[in-house]
Structure 1
Amino acid sequence: MSYSNPSIVEKGRGSAESKSFEIIIMDVNDIATFPTRDSSNVAMSGNFVMKDGKYVTKMQVSSSKTSLPVTSEGEEDNVSISALPEFSFPGSTLAFEEFVANWTNRSVIVAVQVGACGGGSSFWRVYGSQCAPLSLLLEAQNNNDATMGLIKFQQFAKTDLMPGRYSGTFTLATVADTVDADATTVDVSNGNGEYQLQDNTGATEITDLTNATNNGKYTILGSGGSNPATISTGGNFVLVGGVDWTGTSGATITFNAIDAGSSDHVFIEISRT
């Protein structure tokens, strides 16, 4: 459905937005598949799928010092949008200094989880794109008052895109958990993230995700092999178009968990590959 002009834009909350102390950084060249934006150009569907052997980088920052400004510039009928996220990293560890040394002059995308506190529904604000990536710029403080690195990201290419809203998961070097072979349920008590299936000894259908939380985002990774697990529409799962999923090698499926009451959840498909 295309964007339609609203007659009234409802007010949002003007107070400070809650932000996670963890951010995600991705090298554009490590991404195999990008999520797409809907016709209104902000909400993103699908997942960031990394190339084989490539992973995102997770960094802890001082959430109270995170700044996510968006500016626009240009002449009449020729306005572009720039997103300039800034983060404060306390201290100056060897790992941080090596990160700066190796990520300077890369084309990157940055994601920040917002709205996760206070019972709200969280999502990721995504800064930068394949065509207009970000570049890392460092300012370091090391004096009698503090030791910290101020990580600024500059968007040199002009774009007409606002930062995106992403509800998928990210590929880390380690998965949230590995599911036992022949299991018919997946325990997602380790939280949002990716859960790796294993090849089964026989035909196996996954019927539920246990220990989920409302609005949790869970990605199931296929195992491949001769007996990959399947997920069918119906029961606790709502699959797009009612199309069943098979966990072949490289296949993924991501769900959003909705609390259905009585400690039960319904899992709605967000995306699959």
Structure 2
Amino acid sequence: MAYKKVSIAKGHGSPGAPKAKDPNIIILLARDILTMPARDGVKITTNITLKPGTVGIGLYLTPSSIKRNDNSEGDPDKEGWIQNVVGVHPGDSLEVNEFLEANLGEDFILITKECSTAASVKVHGSLCAPLKLTVEEQDDSEGVGKTLTWKSALRSNEKSVFYTGVIPTIAEYTGDTSSNDGL
């Protein structure tokens, strides 16, 4: 789709107010994706399809810690987008440590959602510009948790996209799932 020029108004009310995020993000390993739909500008309207026998991973992040943003960077004539998703997973469970050890160095595609009635669902990363994970752990007198940062490894011309397709199936939860009602 070619960009069509339109004037952009402020919007109604207070469009810059923070938007509550669904604390349950969906993590897809790029190698598990069978088909990634084509983008229509900054939208994907058809389904992401996983390879047979694979599933996504649901992960709880403290809602107030979730940040999803795209930043432009680069020298003149070399500008592009870096996609970012950051959040804190509380605690130090066996399951989150196994996930981190098994998936360091993987290429990721993430799906995040807002909690409003007109919730926007976004896909971060792509097969050609996947996200990489870095982890900063905390275990001290202030608290226990892991700050997880997924970030584009390379600058590209792709922003995060709005997604209206079906959310792929995720693996079953283990342990206490009381905070995962949104999935």
TM class by shorter chain equals: 0.7 to 0.9
1:94 matched residue in structure 2: 94
2:122 matched residue in structure 1: 125
Out of 170, 173, 176, the residue aligned to residue 172 of structure 1 is 170
Distance 1:173-1:99 versus aligned 2 partners, 3 A rule:
closer
1:70 paired to 2:67: no
The alpha-carbon deviation at position 10 of structure 1 amounts to: 2.0
Q: State the SS of the aligned residue for 1:135.
A: strand
The alpha-carbon deviation at position 25 of structure 1 amounts to: 0.4
The alpha-carbon deviation at position 76 of structure 1 amounts to: 1.7
Q: How many residues align?
A: 171
Instruction: Give runs of aligned pairs for residues 151-230 of structure 1, distance below 5 A.
Output: 151-168=148-165, 169-173=167-171
* Cα distance in structure 1, aligned partners of 2:57 and 2:51: 14
1:28 paired to 2:27: no
Q: State the SS of the aligned residue for 1:15.
A: coil
Using the aligned pairs only, state the percent identity.
Answer: 26
Whether the 8 Å CA contact 2:26–2:170 is kept in 1: the answer is no
Whether the 8 Å CA contact 1:49–1:171 is kept in 2: the answer is no
| RMSD, aligned α-carbons | 1.8
Structure 2 unaligned runs (5+)? 173-180
Q: Cα deviation per residue 1:215-269 (whole Å; 9 max; x = unaligned)?
A: xxxxxxxxxxxxxxxxxxxxxxxxxxxxxxxxxxxxxxxxxxxxxxxxxxxxxxx
Structure 1 unaligned runs (5+)? 175-190, 194-273
2:20 matched residue in structure 1: 18
* Cα distance in structure 2, aligned partners of 1:139 and 1:127: 20
Find the structure with the greater CA-based Rg: 1
Whether the 8 Å CA contact 1:30–1:51 is kept in 2: the answer is yes
Q: State the SS of the aligned residue for 1:14.
A: coil
1:264 matched residue in structure 2: none
* Cα distance in structure 2, aligned partners of 1:192 and 1:32: 26
Give the residue type in structure 2 aligned to 1:113. Answer: K
Between 1 and 2, higher relative CO (CA 8 Å, sep ≥ 6) is seen in 2
The alpha-carbon deviation at position 192 of structure 1 amounts to: 9.3
Instruction: Select the structure that is richer in strand.
Output: 1
Distance 1:167-1:192 versus aligned 2 partners, 3 A rule:
farther
Q: Cα deviation per residue 1:174-228 (whole Å; 9 max; x = unaligned)?
A: 6xxxxxxxxxxxxxxxx998xxxxxxxxxxxxxxxxxxxxxxxxxxxxxxxxxxx
Q: TM (normalized to structure 2)?
A: 0.87
